[in-house]
Amino acid sequence: MTERTLQQLKTAETEKISHLDYFNIGISVDCVILGYDEKELKVLLIKSDMQEFSGLYSLLGDFIKPDEDLEAASYRVLKERTGLDDVFLEQVKAFGNITRHPSGRVITIAYYSLIDVRNHKLQLDLNELHWHPVNEIKKLAFDHKQILDTCLGRLRQQVMEHPVIFNLLPEKFSLRELQKLYQAILGVELDRRNFRKKISIKDWLLDIDEMEVNVPHRPGKLYTLKKQYRNKAAKNVVLQMA
């Protein structure tokens, strides 16, 4: 902020009209909540009942409260919608086209969140929330398709560099499950031996000396993410990037 803008802020605080000029922009957060289930990457959506978007789904979001940090607002949306609070969440980008919201000017800050669907009990029914396979989504309300695509792009960018993908898996998982998940996110087939070599070089995993159970084939070893890489808070990820 600069001198001149502070000047403007002070002016805005004393004059009613200026105040409205500078403060009638709404600010929201929107969360791309991703889960992995039945071999697909899915996103949590709610049906839009806005006339403009009838029949379309939208991301989960809410307005930011004046006394609420950005991260707090996105965690609150998650908590309110899913009941979860110990989840991975990272800011991706602000979206602010003038026309993006039919009811007025709303700038939104997009976050993406990764959730282990199997392990957490979500309270989906209460809110008419549903998981939708990301690959089948053609159109969403507002600019939410663009937000979704941007967040998926960020996820793909992060996934080979940082151990974020494990937030989508249960604590114990096999290398097959992990590889399938990478393939679902990256949209490519990976060679099994090369994949295992690559993962083992990163040294993220701990062999816990347990085996898969209830699989209709030879069970694989189970692994877990090493403790030092378990960073669910967005803060940690942000620090890594800086």
Partner DNA sequence: AATTAATGTGTAATAAGTACATATTTATTA
Partner DNA sequence: TAATAAATATGTACTTATTACACATTAATT
Please report which helix (H) or strand (E) contains residue 40, including its range: strand 40-47
Among 54, 123, 157, 200, binds its own copies (CB under 8 A): 157
129 to 73, 75, 121: CA distances (angstroms): 19, 17, 13
Phi-psi region of 39 (alpha: psi -120 to 50; beta: other; left: phi over 0): left
Give the count of residues interacting with its own copies (CB under 8 A): 63
Judged by beta carbon distances under 5 to 8 A according to partner kind, the member of its own copies, DNA, none in contact with residue 13 is its own copies
Judged by beta carbon distances under 5 to 8 A according to partner kind, the member of DNA, its own copies, none in contact with residue 10 is its own copies
Judged by beta carbon distances under 5 to 8 A according to partner kind, the member of DNA, its own copies, none in contact with residue 193 is DNA
Residues in 62-101 that interact with its own copies by CB under 8 A:
62-70, 91, 93-98, 101
Q: Rounded to the nearest whole angstrom, what is the least distance from the CB of residue 115 to DNA in the complex?
A: 23
Chain residues that interact with DNA, rule: CB under 7 A: 174-176, 191-194, 196-198, 201, 211, 215-221
Q: Does 9 bind its own copies (CB under 8 A)?
A: yes
**Beta carbons of 41 and 184 less than 8 angstroms apart:** yes
- With 0-12 CB in 10 A as exposed, 13-18 as middle and 19+ as buried, what is 64? buried
62, 54, 38: which is closest to 136 by C-alpha? 38
Q: Can you tell me the distance from the alpha carbon of 23 to that of 13, in angstroms, rounded to the nearest whole number?
A: 10
| Interaction site with its own copies (CB under 8 A) | 1-6, 8-10, 12-13, 21-28, 30, 46-50, 58-70, 91, 93-98, 101, 103-109, 141-142, 149-150, 153-154, 157, 238, 241-242
